[in-house]
A and B are shown apart, each in its own frame.
Chain A
Amino acid sequence: MVLYLLLMLFLPILTLFATGFSLPPDRFWSIATSNLAWATYGITISLALGSAVCNGVFGTLVAWVLVRYDFPGKKLIDASIDIPFALPTAVAGVVLTTVYSENGILGRLFAPGSPLGSLWGEEGLRLAFARPGVFIAMTFVSLPFVIRTVQPVLEDMEKEVEEAAWCLGASPATTFWYVIFPPLIPSILTGVALAFSRAVGEFGSVVIIAANLPFDDMVSSVLIFQRLEQFDYPGATVIGIMMLFLSVALLFVINLLQNWSSKSG
């Protein structure tokens, strides 16, 4: 078992570092901080952060609706939340591109000349094959995280506390912000961090929905892939190490958040 883990997990990670750090430091540094690399970090991190926050807001809302309200089809909808985890990313890319491209059902709403599209100027708003498409793909693949971390906390929350707040004369808004929301914060943040971590590394759906233009909508994982295709191993390795650092740092943050939420929950 130790050998299996060693061979399958440790050794590949070790090789990545060994290869990266066998480069001269100034070469490593110049690849890691090249203009194109900086551009992809910026695009990746800003879009992933945006999608994680979007999932934080809507995920909390969906969790709330699923726990507190009753409506027909609720069970089915609850089960369908896991679809983004079960659906292969290539399929996600294909279906999202279909829906959000200029001729797609939802993409059409923002096409040039349409009422919503006109808000963005004459060109309309391009969703697929541009940054918004990447944002949509990232939001899709990380959608279940916040919902699934918030749901159990909401379920365990005692209704008596809320009722007590009401009896003491608090308005619904006050009850929400001062009584319901604070205990949810650790679980929301855990979910957002998990979603962010997933979105940063996402490749399959993003590469399909994006135009993958450098400095425009190319993310870091696509840059690594393109460098590998050109057999530029040092170039790919350095960016790979930067991404790995980010995932390990995020894993650390997520562990801290999970400890916090299990303590407060």
Chain B
Amino acid sequence: MVKGKKISIEFLLITIALLFLGAMIYMPLLALLAEVVQGGWDVIVKTWHDRNFQSAVLLTILTAGIAVPLNTIFGLCTAWVLVRQRFPGRALVMTILDLPFSISPVVVGLMLVLLYGKHGWLGQIFDRFNIPIVFNLPGMVLATIFVSLPFVAREVMPILEEVGTAEEEAAKTLGASGWQTFWLVTVPNIKWGILYGVLLTNARAMGEFGAVSVLSGNILGKTQTLPLFIEEVYTNYQTGEAFAASLVLAMLALVTLVLKEWLSQKTGSGHRRIH
């Protein structure tokens, strides 16, 4: 009797959980797949040959190609300094490092337009050399860097802390130089953390919409990344193309998740970390 009641509660709770997840996650994704299948092969081929789609793909890869390496290198440095050094204002830097996660992407775009725009502090300097930033590729790269900046540092910091300094100190006593210690001792210890951070950085960089949208002039074919392309064609009622392009980014997201799962099994942690 008690056993039966317990199982029925269990059944009820599982059903509610699955209904919630189904309505929020699974149905929308299945609907996307259904729409693409319904659109048929022709739409996929047409989208693939669309000039604007092709340039959007290239631009997405290009912005991520610039933003991800930069954020990886500087994220590593930031993590190392924040974990290994003690200096005044360290807590402040840690708090500010988290800001890109909580500021609205549109506000990020706004800040960059103000700073690099015609009358902005840095905009005036670049204007003198005739380098356009805002409403152009450099602005979009800057926006991408801003929103994906904290990932590597955030992933590497806890691992650095856990690894401790013992091995690094041993290397130093044995006569290794600073660089040797870093490359041969520190990096191998944290390599999975770095990879994990790079993965998240890349996913965010390729998918960013709000901030990049503000910084792009939104000139079709010239300054459109894939997310911008999707929004544009969707609001123009070219839904077939929008679904096909969405599927590309959805696949990217799924690949990211699978790799993430694989990496977290490697490190045995990180699985439940939020962000």
Contacts and interface: CB of A to CB of B under 8 A. Distances in A.
A18 to B, nearest CB: 8
A101 B104 CA distance: 26
B109 interface: yes
A143 B17 contact: no
Given A8-B145, A79-B261, A225-B213, A88 B227 contact: yes
Main secondary structure on A side of the interface with B: helix
B257 A79 contact: yes
A85 interface: yes
A69 B32 contact: no
A46 interface: no
Interface stretch (A31-39, A157-165, A177-185, A201-209): A201-209
Contact of A247 (B20, B93, B103): B103
Interface residues of A, number: 83
A133 interface: no
Contact of B114 (A207, A233, A250): A233
A88 B208 contact: yes
A248 to B, nearest CB: 8
Given A1-B74, A65-B14, A203-B105, A12 B112 contact: yes
Interface residues of B, number: 84
A4 B73 CA distance: 11
B120 A90 contact: no
Interface stretch (B46-54, B167-175, B187-195, B228-236): B228-236
Contact of A80 (B21, B28, B111, B117): B21
B196 to A, nearest CB: 13
A88 B261 contact: no
Nearest to A88: B207
A233 B210 CA distance: 17
A49 to B, nearest CB: 16
Given A65-B17, A82-B260, A98 B28 contact: yes
B16 interface: yes
Contacts of B74: 1, 4-5
A11 interface: yes
A77 B110 contact: no
B105 A105 contact: no
A126 interface: no
Nearest to A90: B227
The residue in B10, B74, B104 that gathers the most chain A C-beta atoms within 10 A of its C-beta is: B104
Interface stretch (B125-133, B156-164, B177-185, B248-256): B248-256
Interface string A228-254: 100001001100100110011011000
Contacts of A197: 102
A232 to B, nearest CB: 11
A5 B149 CA distance: 9
A194 B274 contact: yes
A145 interface: yes
B250 A91 contact: yes
Nearest to A3: B74
B214 interface: yes
A221 B107 contact: yes
B240 to A, nearest CB: 12
A260 B97 CA distance: 21
Interface in B197-230: 203, 206-210, 213-214, 226-228, 230
A13 B111 contact: yes
A73 B56 CA distance: 36
B207 A89 contact: yes
Given A5-B97, A99-B27, A198-B102, 15 more contacts: A66-B17, A85-B275, A88-B249, A90-B231, A91-B207, A96-B28, A98-B32, A172-B6, A203-B213, A221-B104, A224-B104, A228-B106, A233-B114, A243-B103, A248-B102
28 contacts: A5-B93, A11-B121, A16-B114, A65-B17, A69-B10, A83-B25, A83-B29, A83-B257, A86-B203, A90-B207, A90-B249, A91-B253, A98-B243, A139-B24, A143-B24, A145-B274, A152-B272, A203-B105, A207-B231, A208-B235, A225-B106, A225-B213, A228-B109, A237-B110, A243-B107, A250-B102, A251-B102, A255-B95
Interface of A: 1, 4-5, 8-13, 15-16, 19, 58, 61-62, 64-66, 69, 71, 77, 79-99, 104-106, 136, 139-140, 143-145, 148-149, 151-152, 172, 194, 197-198, 200-204, 207-208, 220-222, 224-225, 228, 233, 236-237, 240, 243-244, 247-248, 250-251, 255
Nearest 3 CB-CB pairings of A with B: A88-B207, A201-B104, A204-B209
Interface of B: 6, 9-10, 13-14, 16-18, 20-21, 23-29, 31-32, 35, 74, 77-78, 81, 93, 95-100, 102-115, 117, 120-122, 142, 145-146, 149, 203, 206-210, 213-214, 226-228, 230-231, 234-235, 239, 242-243, 246, 249-250, 253-254, 256-257, 260-261, 272-275
